[in-house]
Amino acid sequence: MNKLKLTHVETDKPVRVSLKLPAPLYRSVLQYAELLSKSTGQQPPLEPAKLIPAMIENFIAGDRGFAKLRREASGSDKLA
């Protein structure tokens, strides 16, 4: 079985954000939650409101271009 990108979802003090998802994307998130639940044994499956932030965090953490630009921006802040 293929491994999912998410393995554990941390909880922290949340900040409320409201967004609309296209119905097919929402259904995919629900399906992802089900598969994650089965692969980790975490029951019940996470609600999309808890899963989506972890997905975004994982995406950002894996974006090498963003990390590089972020380092460059923080380095230029130190020089100024």
Coil, strand, or helix at residue 68? helix
pTM over 0.75: no
- Please write the tens of the pLDDT for every residue from 22-58: 999 999 999 999 999 999 898 899 999 889 988 998 9
Q: Write out the residue range of the structural domain in which residue 68 sits.
A: 23-79
Sorting pLDDT into bands at 50, 70 and 90, what band is 15? Answer: confident
Q: With respect to residue 15, please indicate whether it lies within any of the assigned structural domains.
A: no
Output Rg (C-alpha) for the chain, integer angstroms. 16
The share of the chain scoring above pLDDT 90, in percent, equals 40
Domain count, the chain: 1
42 vs 79, which has greater pLDDT? 42
Backbone angles phi, psi at 77, to 5 degrees: -65, -35
Q: With respect to residue 53, please indicate whether it lies within any of the assigned structural domains.
A: yes
